[in-house]
Amino acid sequence: MNTEKWIEKSDKYIMKTYGRYPIVPVRGKGCKLWDVDGKEYLDFLGGVAVNNLGHCHSNVVKAIQEQATTLIHCSNYYQIPQQIELAELLCSLSFADKAFFCNSGAEANEAAIKLARKYSRDKTGKSDRYGIITATDSFHGRTLATVSATGQEKIQRFFDPLLHGFTHVAFDDVAAIEAAITDDTCAVMLEPIQGEGGVNVPSPGYLAGVRELCNKYGLLLILDEVQVGMGRTGKLFAYEHFGITPDIITLAKALAGGVPIGAMLATDDVATAFSPGTHGSTFGGNPLATAAALAAVRTIVEEGILNSAEEMGEYLVGELETLHKKYPVIIKEVRGIGLMIGMALTIPGGDIVKAGHERGVLLNTTHDTVLRFVPPLIVSKQEVNEMIRILDGILKEITV
């Protein structure tokens, strides 16, 4: 079937939870996708920061193929070697001592919320110690708890009553967090760099200041690295840029190279709050997903992917800054770290995204007026140059 026929069938059978573009991808390799009609696209959305190793990386494909022939799923009532190895690897690469596995970023954040509340109550003996401070323009997921944690009204509307206990304050404002702390507060939950909120990078001292506040008031610091983790910023974890360590971190998206997985990592002390029966996941950490994740993480760490993300991020920012100077009426700012980059516009970016699709480049907007660039970390200079050439042509037409 062609694109038109697939869209017709989708409209008939799929719920309208996405504003889908008229593109039907059927094949991917590296930084490129091909649709059902054979059209080629440069993918600068990367599955929304999922395909950090590009599409169908050989190491991940091999791990999936080999694991699928031996054991795809078994219950978490049993010990799973691939899960144990992945937990060991992630803990050895981070501040953490223990891991919990699930299937998505929202589930990882749910686990973090539950762990923080239970730990605080166990530690203090106070049943009302449940409040969590989050930031405006944040995004933590689509479940009811993570929607409540998210600081965007457009995500929350229609779902009242929201889960009680979340306070939203301005991002990049340490004083606002301190002012929001009450006797009920147990944790602060932040994205080190806000993704869906517009690729917002905090001031250099912000997270260090928040860490000091958490230490001062006995609060847990939860960092949501679902989008920015796994090398996206040029370091394996974004918190490494800011000279701090959290108490809990959440991961998903790029963790298994495209296979659904989520993880919540914590220190030994905090992890003790979970015991058998307090939390779980049927599919979380199954052999297939964790085998894929082992291959993905090892590839990122061992094959120079972090250096590539840093170098190509600097190059891409430089090229986007050149466009900024060329089109100052349209472009307000270029910001980001590594290959987590946003271009703030003076106009809505939807038409630019559509024009990019027509010319073979996949982009998207976040917060309506910010073009987001999250290509695979293996993107080449040639591919960046081609995307810039196409984007330059689009912007030129807008200014005419």
Active site residue 97: no
Among candidate residues 101, 253, 274, 373, the one labeled active-site is 253
Positive or negative CA dihedral for 297, 299, 304, 309? Answer: negative
Q: Are 118 and 174 in contact (CB under 8 A)?
A: no
Cβ distance 132 to 188 under 8 Å? yes
Q: What angle do CA 181, 182, 184 make, to 5 degrees?
A: 120
Q: Is 173 tagged catalytic?
A: no
What is d(CA 128, CA 30) in angstroms, rounded to the nearest whole number? 50
Sort 98 into a burial class: Cβ within 10 Å, 0-12 / 13-18 / 19+.
middle
Q: Which residues contact 272 (CB under 8 A, 6 or more apart)?
A: 119, 122
Catalytic position from the list 44, 100, 101, 139: 139
Q: Which amino acid, residue 276?
A: P
Phi, psi of 338 (to 5 degrees): 60, -130
Residues in a beta bridge with 190: 223
Neighbours of 268 (CB within 10 A): 10
Strands 40-43 and 32-35: antiparallel
Give Cβ neighbours of residue 43 (< 8 Å, ≥ 6 apart).
Answer: 28, 31, 32, 33, 51, 55, 362, 375, 376
CB atoms within 10 A of CB 7: 17
Q: DSSP labels for 5-74?
A: HHHHHHHHHS-S-S---S--EEEEEBTEEEETT--EEEESSHHHHT-TT-BT-HHHHHHHHHHHTT-S--
Active-site pick, 224, 242, 247, 373: 224
Q: Count Cα neighbours of 161 within 13 Å in the Cβ-side half-sphere.
A: 3
Cα–Cα distances (Å) from 140 to 223, 263, 267, 312, 358, in that order, read: 10, 14, 21, 27, 31
Q: Does residue 139 carry a catalytic annotation?
A: yes
User: What gap in Å lies between CA 187 and CA 173, rounded to an integer?
Assistant: 16
Residue positions annotated with a catalytic role: 139, 224, 253
